[in-house]
Amino acid sequence: MNLKKYVLTAVLGRVVLFVTMLLRGMAQVQTAFAEPSAASSPQDLDQAMSLLDATRKRFEKVRDYECQLIKRERVKGLLLPEGTMTMKVRNKPFSIYLHCESPDDDKGLEVCYVEGRNRGMMRVRPAGIKGILDFWSIDPNDSRAFKKNRHCITEAGIGHLLESTAGYWEMELSLKKTIVQISEDQVGRHACTRIETIHPDREAGDFYGYRCVLWLDKSTQLPVGAETYDWPRKGSPNGDLLESYRYLKLRTNVGLGDETFRH
């Protein structure tokens, strides 16, 4: 009788243990599926849009700016070396001047564009010995301009970054499928708000990339960085880097005049 009682107790104990482990496993599964749902709630994208709107409002007070631009882009499937350049921008009329410092192949390259001038052409002084011939006029949409660039010169700068991001987020607000992660981060010496948007359903909308990250400086409210990643594939579960930009040593309203863009 004692033996039967012992066996029954042991069996019941195993059953209780199995049920407990099963319930814990179900709870973990429920939690795992609940987290993305919570992260993708419309309120999170509303919060991101609110932060972006504050940045856009702050940028309205910026007449011009200069910074060190660090960029890396994937062009025709190839991730190009990181480039560093001085960037000077006047917002009205849109005027931009770039002077490349690296990589070595592009060191000394100068590019200037002023909206409404030079018959819509940008002015380019090539790197190396070709630079002896001074500045050339090139159509911003010339194929030569895209050998090492993903974007046209008219799409460069902080203003276009803010407006294009706002356009995408407004579209995504209606879809309600974007996963949003907002956190604190550090870029160089800048304490930042990091906003990451993830698009798990590629066919749901006209997305620029699978993952997009925007860093906003907490003190200035202006962008200090942005990155975009392609959709996941075998060997790259988080997506390959498409483009990365850093806006460092940013100075605003420095008084850039016509002489800065006269080339």
pLDDT in tens, 18-39: 434 434 443 333 333 233 333 4
Distance of CA 56 to the CA centre of its chain: 16
Residue type, 63: R
Q: What is the pLDDT of residue 131?
A: 74
C-beta of residue 101 within 8 angstroms of C-beta of residue 241? no
CA distance 108 to 68: 15
- List all residues 6 or more positions away from 136 whose beta carbon is below 8 Å from its beta carbon: 123, 124, 125, 126
Fold of 42-261: outer membrane lipoprotein receptor (LolB), chain A (2.50.20)
Q: Which ranges of the chain have pLDDT less than 50?
A: 1-41
pTM beyond 0.85: the answer is no
pLDDT value of position 203: 93
Between CA 78 and CA 143 the distance in angstroms is 17
Residues 52-67 have pLDDT tens digits of 999 999 999 999 999 9
φ/ψ of 79, rounded to 5, equals: -80, 110
- Whole-number Å distance between alpha carbons of 140 and 132: 22
Spatial neighbors of 94 by CB under 8 A, at least 6 apart, are 113, 114, 115, 154, 157, 159
Phi-psi region of 206 (alpha: psi -120 to 50; beta: other; left: phi over 0): beta
Tokens encoding 240: 């390959």
Domain boundaries along the sequence of the chain? 42-261
